[in-house]
């Protein structure tokens, strides 16, 4: 099968009678089989996707097909899909089946998207390398000895390896943007609350955002248009009308763009990533954009703030996994407390257990103010500073990650170094603003580099237009 990079291209070939949904699904299933070693999928819905393809082909023939007819989608293993498995990459949910569709999934299906499988990720979305999954690590398709990034590693590789056209991941501190950067695909984290979180297994609820991986800007815009917006099942979701993002993509606008010199001078920034940013800034100036160096002093506190708050929220959210109503229950239970403890200790992986205990610590009576409340205050200062910056500029541009994809196993012994992989993605998560990672060249070893643009709340259209310009 041809390597398709957009739904428009597929539609053109469909109109010309060159391909139909059944051929398309067969093509992707074949690519999944050939890339099995990458471990991007934890389950592939072969028969079901083929059946659905027949139905969608019929609808296309009758002119009754939805907006996403011909769109073959992968779902990160944290999104509820009715009567399908859901495990969040964890043993604690072995055998769990969703009893309903999450809102985003429901909206995709209603527009005739075909779900091809469920994709591997770090356990409960906690990780930056996709090495913390009970299904084993995912490999980067550009170099299988390297990580795909995390936590939505399987979803990034799914698109990278041409096993689906788009995938839905989730981004809590960079879990869509960082793997998009490592795998050379487009990765959007919309504004917090733009997309309903109903049916997204919670990690850190004040950060969790569904995000979209795609090869083309147009597909990303279309997916967002379909899944965003008000939802009775999520009281925090934004009720702002959803723009028709697909009609607003304009790569010719001129912008006022900020960059942070101290970020480009930071330790641990790979020289090729720095060079890419320097080249980008030159290009922006040459193309007539107004580019300005700015200060963002609070940036240096974003990572610490992010980790304190997400530890806390994770410890609270993951208390639901107690072996009572769903998930793993230990055989060793003699009473209620031993059942909780044994079930959770057997079911959760080490990184998750560590974060739960750290969260319990920062929320404990003696330390609550010193850690948790302080981090919430600093969060406000970070958001205020970033939003002030974005009230004077259209975008802040930053690298997506300090380095390109590292070797599998390279950072697993050093948790703090692993946390630094999120350095440039957490500011938008802490502030709740939208951000996108755009593939932008490769390093000497051929590994993809991503550049990131952050915009003000609900300015996804602007981000998509800018991405279109960057990718031209």
Partner 1 sequence: MKIDNKTLEGMAHLSRLNLDQKDVEELKKDMSEILDWVEKLDEVDTEGVAPLTTMSHEINAVREDKTKPHLSHEKALKNAPKKDSDYFRVPKVLD
- Nearest-approach distance from CB 234 to partner 1, in angstroms: 9
Is 461 among the catalytic positions? no
Work out the angle between the directed axes of helices 302-317 and 374-392 (0-180°, nearest 10). Answer: 130
- Nearest-approach distance from CB 430 to partner 1, in angstroms: 9
**Among residues 28, 124, 207, 395, the one that binds partner 1 under rule CB under 8 A:** 207
Instruction: Note whether 122 and 150 are within 8 A (CB).
Output: yes
With CB under 8 A as the contact rule, which of the stretches 117-125, 147-155, 400-408, 411-419 interacts with partner 1? 411-419
* 357/388 with CB nearer partner 1: 357
Q: Is 388 in the site for partner 1 (CB under 8 A)?
A: no
Backbone φ, ψ for residue 438 (5° rounding)? -115, 130
Distance CA 227, CA 200 (A): 13
Q: Is 377 in the site for partner 1 (CB under 8 A)?
A: yes
How many Cβ atoms sit within 10 Å of the Cβ of residue 346? 15
Query: How many residues bind to partner 1 according to rule CB under 8 A?
Result: 71
The active-site residue, picked from 52, 76, 215, 468, is 76
Q: Is 432 in the site for partner 1 (CB under 8 A)?
A: yes
**Residue showing tokens 């940036």:** 299
* 95/288 with CB nearer partner 1: 95
**Among residues 44, 375, 428, 464, the one that binds partner 1 under rule CB under 8 A:** 375
- Nearest-approach distance from CB 358 to partner 1, in angstroms: 6
* 182/311 with CB nearer partner 1: 311
Distance CA 40, CA 161 (A): 9
Instruction: Note whether 453 and 410 are within 8 A (CB).
Output: no
Question: At 441, which helix (H) or strand (E)?
Answer: strand 435-442
- In DSSP notation, 252-300 reads T---EEEEEHHHHT-TT--HHHHHHHHHHHHHHHHTT-EEEEE--GGGG
Q: Is 357 in the site for partner 1 (CB under 8 A)?
A: yes
* 285/380 with CB nearer partner 1: 380
Beta strands in 77-182 (DSSP E): 114-119, 166-171
Site for partner 1 in 210-269 (CB under 8 A): 232, 235-240
Distance CA 436, CA 428 (A): 10
**Among residues 46, 51, 97, 275, the one that binds partner 1 under rule CB under 8 A:** 97
- Nearest-approach distance from CB 361 to partner 1, in angstroms: 5
Q: Is 350 in the site for partner 1 (CB under 8 A)?
A: yes
- Nearest-approach distance from CB 339 to partner 1, in angstroms: 6
Burial per residue of 374-383, b for 16 or more beta-carbon CB atoms within 10 angstroms, e otherwise: bbeebbeebb
∠ CA 61-62-67, rounded to 5°: 85
Distance CA 179, CA 404 (A): 10
Instruction: Note whether 154 and 138 are within 8 A (CB).
Output: yes
* 326/410 with CB nearer partner 1: 326
Distance CA 8, CA 218 (A): 8
Q: Which residues pair with 50 in a beta bridge?
A: none
With CB under 8 A as the contact rule, which of the stretches 22-30, 356-364, 395-403, 439-447 interacts with partner 1? 356-364
The active-site residue, picked from 151, 181, 343, 429, is 151
With CB under 8 A as the contact rule, which of the stretches 21-29, 45-53, 277-285, 296-304 interacts with partner 1? 296-304
Site for partner 1 in 439-458 (CB under 8 A): 457
Site for partner 1 in 316-345 (CB under 8 A): 319, 322-329, 333-342, 344-345
The active-site residue, picked from 175, 315, 429, 467, is 175
Is 90 among the catalytic positions? no
Q: Is 374 in the site for partner 1 (CB under 8 A)?
A: yes
| Terminal-residue alpha carbon distance, the chain | 25
Q: Is 278 in the site for partner 1 (CB under 8 A)?
A: no
- Nearest-approach distance from CB 472 to partner 1, in angstroms: 32
Q: Is 30 in the site for partner 1 (CB under 8 A)?
A: no
Is 52 among the catalytic positions? no
- In DSSP notation, 16-58 reads TTS--HHHHHHHHHHHHHHTGGG--EEEE-HHHHHHHHHHHHH
Active site residues: 76, 151, 175
């Amino acid at each position: 099968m041809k390597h398709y990079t957009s739904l428009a291209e597929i539609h053109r070939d469909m109109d010309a009678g060159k391909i139909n949904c059944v051929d398309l699904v067969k093509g992707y299933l074949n690519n999944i089989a050939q890339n099995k070693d990458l471990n991007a999928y934890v389950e592939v819905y072969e028969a079901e996707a083929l059946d659905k393809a027949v139905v969608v082909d019929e609808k296309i023939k009758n002119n009754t097909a939805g907006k996403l007819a011909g769109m073959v989608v992968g779902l990160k293993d944290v999104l509820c899909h009715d009567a399908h498995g859901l495990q969040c990459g964890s043993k604690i949910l072995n055998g769990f089946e969703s009893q309903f569709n999450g809102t985003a999934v429901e909206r995709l299906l209603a527009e005739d998207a075909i779900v091809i499988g469920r994709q591997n990720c770090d356990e409960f979305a906690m990780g930056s390398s996709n090495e913390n999954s009970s299904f084993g690590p995912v490999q980067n398709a550009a170099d299988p000895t390297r990580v795909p990034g995390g936590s939505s590693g399987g979803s990034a590789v799914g698109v990278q390896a041409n096993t689906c056209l788009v995938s839905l991941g989730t981004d809590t501190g960079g879990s869509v943007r960082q793997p998009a950067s490592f795998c050379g695909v487009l990765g959007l984290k919309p504004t917090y609350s733009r997309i309903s979180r109903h049916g997204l297994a919670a990690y850190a609820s004040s950060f969790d955002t569904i995000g979209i991986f795609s090869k083309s800007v147009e597909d990303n815009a279309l997916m967002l248009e379909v899944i965003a917006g008000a939802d009775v099942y999520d009281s925090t979701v934004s009720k702002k009308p959803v723009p028709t993002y697909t009609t607003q993509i304009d790569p010719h606008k001129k912008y006022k763009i900020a960059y942070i010199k101290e970020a480009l001078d930071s330790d641990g920034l790979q020289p090729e990533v720095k060079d890419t940013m320097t080249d980008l800034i030159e290009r922006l100036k040459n193309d007539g954009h107004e580019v300005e160096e700015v200060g963002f002093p609070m940036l240096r506190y974003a990572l610490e703030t992010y980790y304190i708050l997400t530890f806390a929220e994770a410890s609270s959210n993951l208390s639901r996994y107690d072996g009572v109503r769903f998930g793993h229950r230990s055989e060793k239970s003699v009473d209620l407390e031993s059942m909780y403890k044994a079930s959770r200790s057997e079911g959760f992986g080490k990184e998750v257990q560590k974060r739960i205990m750290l969260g319990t610590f920062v929320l404990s009576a003696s330390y609550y103010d010193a850690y948790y409340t302080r981090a919430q205050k600093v969060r406000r200062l970070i958001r205020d500073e970033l939003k002030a910056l974005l009230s004077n500029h259209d975008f802040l541009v930053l690298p997506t990650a300090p380095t390109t994809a590292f070797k599998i196993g390279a950072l697993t012994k050093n948790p703090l170094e692993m946390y630094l992989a999120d350095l440039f993605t957490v500011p938008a998560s802490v502030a709740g603003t939208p951000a996108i990672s755009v593939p932008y060249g490769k390093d000497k070893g051929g590994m993809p580099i991503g550049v990131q643009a952050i915009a003000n709340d609900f300015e996804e259209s602007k981000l998509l237009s800018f991405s279109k310009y960057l990718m031209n």
